[in-house]
């Protein structure tokens, strides 16, 4: 009898990729492994045999790729006391290293995110707190969160004198962007803020991960009006790279500029005409366009006079044409959108005009006229961010943040629908959270956010540290709380909340063993067996909150962090019932399962559902019985 063990890690991405390849090219597999010769034969002319070809590489790229493939052993622990309306909200704030968090989100949120905005650390030669160790990622994270000296200064920097100055930054970015690609919906879009130092490298790494065909544009943001500290040419701009998941989809990912369209502007009611005046008009005739004979036609005026473009009384091919086609102009006359005005300047004595608040297509159908989206943003300045932070905290608690209006502008570019998810895994001080909440309030939307932020320690000399915010994650959480409550001279509360989770060590003793990279595989396996023999499973749970164990199973089974959890009595045993849409998970952490509980679990109500319990809670007979009726997994 072979009973499944509970999932100890996040989804193994390489396995998923292999299964996708097997589904498309099953003939390329032999004895459950890829046969390279068969794969080459199947692909034929699609393989580039040239030794020299265009590529983008750097020192450490192989480690970055390995980092994508290694599953996470960590877990996410709920922090209800730091949350707002935990049991009702679907907004998430996750405190922890974003690489580990993104791995833990892969199964539940695969292709579920509509929009990603990130403002990653710029490679300016200053502090660089993201330092990945693909051999021991969780240990590396736990060490990093305390990496300051007695004065509170960060110990790690990425200076330009470092021989791998650019490579280290790219190695940090690659696995995170690759995991982010997995989470985006097919019609999803990602925005990445960046400055001059790495924008060219970022374009290349994004082309590799997302495909250069999915590049949309490079937004240019004028962040300030001058730079008096410059010794050469003032730098007053930054950039936001925009890529889609699939640019070939028929639906338009990007929204029209909603604020530019006012339906009342196109109204033809008597009240409107009276209020605005009847002669808000423009001449239809104009020059300077490419000449078309079809737009050089006669029009009959009210007194029977014939007029051609520019008030001419006879046909003349001199470049002047009507703005509208003959069919459209006739439609406009019949529907009273066109007026004839007396004009001394025109030879015919008439000016043919239309009301400038009315837009119709060539078939006479009313159209919405909206300003096109532009890749230049000049009306939002960095100074706006500092002012906003001061309004929220009543002091300049944090200086390095993007303006909320900039993120709201970016969100407005995307055609968002109810319950769409916005992800920011370099959340910083929480600007994207504030922008999402305020944009929802203004547009009556119901988008949800997922924010991920490393608990990076604030400088001991900073206003934030002195006020009591020891980490940047603390600043972000408090900022979102204050936005929800309302801030400033005229506080406007927002009906919203957010759940807080924290990245932490697994509840399972198997995951707490650290492999020694200096030892052989055989030596590590021997050490692991010895470790397990000493570890008592029963000692795990008295020290751990049951809900922490439940959430570890939620994460590693691939259910949403917004799953509903209820604690029920099943005969004599406590059972947690977890529901995520159509998926359901049953978990019991009792030391022993009663025979009557086992009998209930074999009923039709629980047929084929997943049930997780302690391995020692069942004898072999009970395991065999339950395994026939449901999907049994043991801890």
Within this chain, do residues 482 and 455 fall inside the same structural domain, yes or no? yes
- Residue in the block written with tokens 């994270």: 141
Let me know if residue 521 belongs to a domain. Answer: no
User: What is d(CA 89, CA 61) in angstroms, rounded to the nearest whole number?
Assistant: 39
The total domain count for the chain is 3
Number of C-beta neighbours around residue 41 at 10 A: 12
- What is the longest distance spanned by two Cα atoms in the chain? 106
Within this chain, do residues 496 and 554 fall inside the same structural domain, yes or no? no
Could you report the per-residue pLDDT of 14-33, keeping only the tens digit for each? 666 666 667 676 777 776 77
User: What is d(CA 595, CA 55) in angstroms, rounded to the nearest whole number?
Assistant: 63
Within this chain, do residues 162 and 133 fall inside the same structural domain, yes or no? yes
Dump strand ranges (E) for 195-326. 215-222, 237-244, 281-283, 285-286, 299-300, 306-307, 321-322
Within this chain, do residues 238 and 131 fall inside the same structural domain, yes or no? yes
User: What is d(CA 177, CA 20) in angstroms, rounded to the nearest whole number?
Assistant: 20
Average pLDDT over residues 349-363: 65
Could you report the per-residue pLDDT of 170-227, keeping only the tens digit for each? 999 999 999 999 999 999 999 999 999 899 999 999 999 999 999 999 999 999 887 6
Structure-model confidence comparison of residues 260 and 292, the more confident one: 292
Let me know if residue 250 belongs to a domain. Answer: yes
Within this chain, do residues 188 and 106 fall inside the same structural domain, yes or no? yes
How would you class 27 by CB atoms within 10 Å of its CB: exposed for 0-12, middle for 13-18, buried for 19 or more?
exposed
What's the start-to-end Cα distance of the chain, in Å?
Answer: 16
Q: How far is CA 359 from CA 145, 275, 337, in A?
A: 59, 19, 10
CB-hemisphere CA count at 13 Å for 567?
Answer: 8
How would you class 141 by CB atoms within 10 Å of its CB: exposed for 0-12, middle for 13-18, buried for 19 or more?
buried
pLDDT value at 376 more than 70: yes
Let me know if residue 131 belongs to a domain. Answer: yes
pLDDT value at 239 more than 80: yes
Nearest Cα residue to 74 out of 94, 104, 102: 104
Q: Contact, 261 vs 369, CB < 8 A?
A: yes
Let me know if residue 630 belongs to a domain. Answer: yes
Rg of the Cα atoms in the chain: 32
Average pLDDT over residues 592-617: 93
What is the torsion angle, in degrees rounded to the nearest 10, for the CA atoms of residue 429, residue 434, residue 435 and residue 438? -170
H or E segment to which residue 307 belongs: strand 306-307
Q: Which of 454, 486, 504 is the last residue of a domain?
A: 504
Could you report the per-residue pLDDT of 557-589, keeping only the tens digit for each? 999 999 999 999 999 999 999 999 999 999 999
Whole domain around residue 225: which residue ranges?
A: 75-256+378-504
Strand partners, 620: none
Within this chain, do residues 326 and 462 fall inside the same structural domain, yes or no? no
Close Cβ partners of 525 (under 8 Å, ≥ 6 residues apart): none
Kindly report the three-state secondary structure assignment for every residue of 316-366. Answer: CCCCCEECCCHHHHHHHHHCCCEEEEECCCCCCCEEEEEECCCCECCCCCE
Least confident of 47-56, 89-98, 176-185, 358-367: 358-367
Within this chain, do residues 269 and 231 fall inside the same structural domain, yes or no? no
Please, what sign has the CA dihedral across residues 364, 369, 374, 378? positive
Let me know if residue 513 belongs to a domain. Answer: no
Average pLDDT over residues 375-392: 90
User: What is d(CA 264, CA 143) in angstroms, rounded to the nearest whole number?
Assistant: 60
Could you report the per-residue pLDDT of 484-507, keeping only the tens digit for each? 999 988 899 999 999 999 999 898
Phi, psi of 185 (to 5 degrees): -65, 160
Within this chain, do residues 270 and 197 fall inside the same structural domain, yes or no? no
Nearest Cα residue to 96 out of 66, 138, 68: 138
Query: Could you tell me the CATH number of the domain that includes residue 400?
Result: 3.40.50.150
Within this chain, do residues 167 and 139 fall inside the same structural domain, yes or no? yes
Within this chain, do residues 324 and 197 fall inside the same structural domain, yes or no? no
546: helix, strand or coil:
helix
Average pLDDT over residues 324-333: 82
- Return the structure tokens found at 193: 């803020």
Q: Which of 324, 355, 386 is the last residue of a domain?
A: 355
Average pLDDT over residues 522-538: 70
Within this chain, do residues 252 and 342 fall inside the same structural domain, yes or no? no
Within this chain, do residues 270 and 239 fall inside the same structural domain, yes or no? no
User: What is d(CA 452, CA 426) in angstroms, rounded to the nearest whole number?
Assistant: 6
Count helices and strands in the chain by DSSP H and E runs: 18, 25
Could you report the per-residue pLDDT of 405-442, keeping only the tens digit for each? 999 999 999 999 999 999 999 999 999 999 999 999 98
Considering the entire predicted model, what is its pTM?
0.77
Close Cβ partners of 80 (under 8 Å, ≥ 6 residues apart): 86, 500
pLDDT value at 308 more than 50: yes
Let me know if residue 593 belongs to a domain. Answer: yes
User: What is d(CA 234, CA 30) in angstroms, rounded to the nearest whole number?
Assistant: 60
User: What is d(CA 512, CA 9) in angstroms, rounded to the nearest whole number?
Assistant: 12
Q: Contact, 104 vs 76, CB < 8 A?
A: yes
Let me know if residue 29 belongs to a domain. Answer: no
User: What is d(CA 241, CA 255) in angstroms, rounded to the nearest whole number?
Assistant: 17
Let me know if residue 160 belongs to a domain. Answer: yes
Close Cβ partners of 51 (under 8 Å, ≥ 6 residues apart): none
Angle, CA of 432, 433 and 436, to the nearest 5°: 80
- Return the structure tokens found at 629: 């009726």
Angle, CA of 321, 322 and 324, to the nearest 5°: 140
């Amino acid at each position: 009898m072979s009973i499944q063990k509970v999932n100890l890690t996040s989804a193994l991405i390489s396995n998923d990729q292999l299964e996708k390849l097997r589904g498309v090219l099953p003939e390329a597999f032999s004895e459950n492994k890829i046969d390279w010769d068969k794969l080459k034969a199947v692909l034929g002319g699609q393989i580039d045999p040239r030794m020299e070809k265009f590529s983008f590489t750097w020192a450490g790229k192989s480690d970055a790729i390995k980092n994508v493939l290694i599953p996470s052993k960590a877990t996410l622990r709920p922090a209800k006391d730091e949350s707002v309306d935990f049991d009702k909200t679907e907004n998430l704030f996750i405190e922890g290293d974003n690489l580990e968090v993104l791995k833990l989100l892969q199964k539940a949120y695969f292709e579920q995110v509509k929009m990603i905005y990130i403002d990653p650390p710029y490679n300016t030669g200053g502090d660089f707190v993201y330092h990945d160790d693909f051999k021991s990622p969780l240990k590396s994270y736990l060490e990093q969160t305390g990496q300051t000296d007695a004065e509170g200064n960060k110990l790690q920097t990425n200076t330009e004198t470092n021989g791998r100055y650019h490579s280290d930054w790219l190695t940090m970015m690659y696995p995170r962007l690759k995991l982010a690609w997995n989470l985006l919906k097919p019609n999803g879009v990602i925005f990445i803020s960046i400055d001059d130092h790495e924008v060219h490298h970022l374009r290349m790494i994004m082309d590799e991960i997302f495909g250069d065909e999915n590049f949309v544009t490079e937004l240019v943001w004028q962040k300030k009006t001058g730079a008096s500290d410059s010794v050469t040419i003032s730098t007053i701009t930054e950039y936001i790279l925009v890529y889609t998941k699939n640019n070939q989809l028929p639906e338009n990912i990007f929204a029209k500029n909603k604020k530019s369209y006012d339906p009342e502007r196109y109204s033809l009611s008597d009240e409107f005409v009276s209020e605005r005046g009847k002669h808000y008009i423009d001449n239809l005739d104009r020059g300077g366009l490419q000449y078309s004979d079809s737009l050089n036609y006669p029009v009959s005026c009210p007194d029977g006079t014939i007029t051609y473009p520019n008030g001419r009384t006879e046909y003349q091919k001199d470049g002047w044409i009507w703005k509208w086609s003959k069919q459209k102009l006739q439609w406009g006359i019949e529907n009273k959108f066109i007026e004839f005005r007396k004009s001394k300047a025109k030879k015919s004595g008439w000016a043919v005009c239309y009301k400038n608040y009315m837009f119709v297509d060539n078939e006479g159908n009313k159209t919405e006229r909206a300003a096109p989206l532009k890749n230049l943003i000049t009306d939002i300045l960095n100074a706006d961010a500092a002012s906003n932070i001061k309004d929220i905290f009543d002091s300049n608690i944090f200086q390095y943040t993007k303006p909320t209006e900039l993120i709201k502008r970016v969100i407005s570019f995307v055609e968002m629908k109810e319950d769409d998810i916005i992800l920011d895994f370099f959340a910083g001080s929480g600007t994207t959270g504030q922008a999402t909440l305020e944009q929802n309030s203004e547009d009556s939307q119901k988008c949800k956010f997922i924010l991920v932020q490393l608990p990076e320690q604030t400088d001991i000399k900073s206003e934030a540290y002195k006020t009591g915010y020891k980490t940047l994650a603390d600043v972000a959480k408090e900022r979102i709380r204050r936005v929800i409550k309302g801030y400033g001279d005229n506080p406007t509360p927002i009906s919203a909340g957010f759940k807080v989770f924290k990245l932490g060590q697994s509840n399972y003793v198997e995951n707490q063993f650290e492999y020694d990279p200096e030892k052989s595989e055989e030596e590590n396996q021997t050490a692991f067996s010895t470790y397990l023999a000493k570890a008592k499973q029963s000692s795990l749970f008295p020290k751990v909150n049951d809900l922490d164990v439940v959430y570890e199973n939620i994460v590693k089974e691939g259910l949403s962090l917004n799953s509903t959890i209820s604690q029920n009595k099943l005969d004599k045993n406590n059972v947690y019932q977890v529901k995520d849409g159509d998926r359901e998970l049953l978990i019991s952490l009792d030391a022993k399962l009663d025979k009557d509980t086992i009998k209930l679990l074999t009923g039709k109500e629980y047929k084929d559902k997943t049930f997780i319990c302690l391995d020692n809670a069942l004898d072999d007979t009970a395991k065999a019985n339950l395994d026939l009726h449901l999907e049994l997994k043991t801890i």
